[in-house]
Amino acid sequence: MKHDPVYDEPELWILKNVGSFSFEFMGGGKAVVCGVDSENFSSVLGERACVGMVGGVVYVRGKISTYPKDIQCLELDEEDIKFIDGGLDEFLNRIERPELRGELTNWSAWKKLRPLTYEEKISQA
């Protein structure tokens, strides 16, 4: 995904898991991977997730096996929770699964992946 500032930031909502190379070269937008029925996977993001990611955010619920060293894995903050919670009802209603709301609002099960900024990369060198 990329974000053209002329348009609203794109969003991608996924109920279960994704395959390998997910969010490769992502340059903007927000992805929400809910991880429903994905407990048996070693990673809900598959292998080599977020390689080359330079922008955007990936919200993930479930196990993450690995991610590149230039990606940060963070706990959700208040703004992150507000974003997910604000879009969750519309997503679940569109896919006709509103009964999953309780399961998906256990915020401690979620993580946020984002690329390091240029300044953060320089300070690590």
Q: With contact defined as beta carbons under 8 Å apart, do 88 and 104 qualify?
A: yes
Counts for the chain of helices (H) and strands (E), in that order: 3, 5
Burial of residue 67 (number of CB atoms within 10 Å: 0-12, 13-18, 19+):
buried
Burial of residue 12 (number of CB atoms within 10 Å: 0-12, 13-18, 19+):
middle
CA distance 73 to 64: 10
Tens digits of per-residue pLDDT, 66-96? 899 999 999 999 999 999 999 999 999 999 9
Please compute, for residue 107, the number of CA atoms within 13 A of its CA located in the half-sphere on the CB side.
13
Return the pLDDT at 37: 97
Which residue numbers in the chain have pLDDT < 50? none
Whether the predicted model's global pTM rises above the 0.85 cut? yes
